[in-house]
Amino acid sequence: MAWFETWFNTPYYHILYKDRNFEEAENFISLLINDLQIPKHSKIIDLACGKGRHSVFLNKMGFEVLGLDLSEESISQNKIFENETLKFKVHDMRDPIYPEISKMKVDAVCNLFTSFGYFESEDDDKKVFRSVADVLEDNGFFVLDFLNEQWVKNTLVAEAVTTKGNIDFHISKRIEDQHVIKDIVFKHQGEDFYFFEKVKLHTLEEIGSYAAEFGFERVKIYGDYNLGTFDRDTSPRCINVFRKL
């Protein structure tokens, strides 16, 4: 079983990341929707939606939203938010979305906050672009919010300890074979735990190549969550906006 299939389904993953800045995230989504001029009532897929917070926010903004995530635990909890225009389903992003999961094509697909780069093979990476291309209407947007690989290399902190929920998480990071690997070690109720995260440091060129292969044109690149200009050395994010041709 892949690391993300186990780690994302544990309560400890949600404890470690419970203080993520949702205000910043919602501000980013608002700026993004406004900048791309996506009309209200458009159909949007939140791909790798996690706990569904951003799906809910998009729905409140007036969009018809489908949240998809591999974690059965997250989707089960998200069901309480469902309404006529907000649905959640368990889905592996490598698998086809249309017509198996979504019976209709959509106007935009958002893959936010580094929910890509988990797979070992290039073929699996390409499957994501293929499934998104198949579910998008012509001229629809694919927003791929990814880390900036050069910035990660420039700013990597090798060792840190963070305390969440009375648990001391010992975190070490390293770069190995063009992957950033985060080891997470902690003790809870007398038991030792170890998990890790492994994300491929895709370059801007690699991502652009995958997109072009499946009929996408890159129309914008933002460097941060305020939609700042992308700089390869100094931008923390590499937020790609593609349009399906």
Residue 83: Cβ-neighbour burial (10 angstroms; 0-12, 13-18, 19+): exposed
For residue 161 the two structure tokens come to 């300890």
- Span 34-55, pLDDT tens digits: 999 999 999 999 999 998 999 9
pLDDT given at position 22: 79
pLDDT digits (tens, 9 = 90+) for 215-244: 999 999 999 999 999 999 999 999 999 999
In this prediction, residue 19 carries a pLDDT of 78
For the chain, residues with pLDDT lower than 50 are none
Fold of 3-148+203-244: Rossmann fold (3.40.50)
Burial 44-81 (b: 16+ CB within 10 A, else e): bbbbbbbbbbbbbbbbeeebbbbbbbbbebbbeebeeb
pLDDT score for 198 = 97
At 188, give phi and psi (nearest 5°). -145, 125
Q: How far apart are CA 95 and CA 199, in angstroms?
A: 19
| Range list for CATH 3.40.50.150 in the chain | 3-148+203-244
Instruction: Give residue 222's pLDDT.
Output: 98
The whole-number pLDDT of residue 227 equals 98
Strand order of the β-sheet with 191-200 is: 159-164, 167-176, 179-188, 191-200
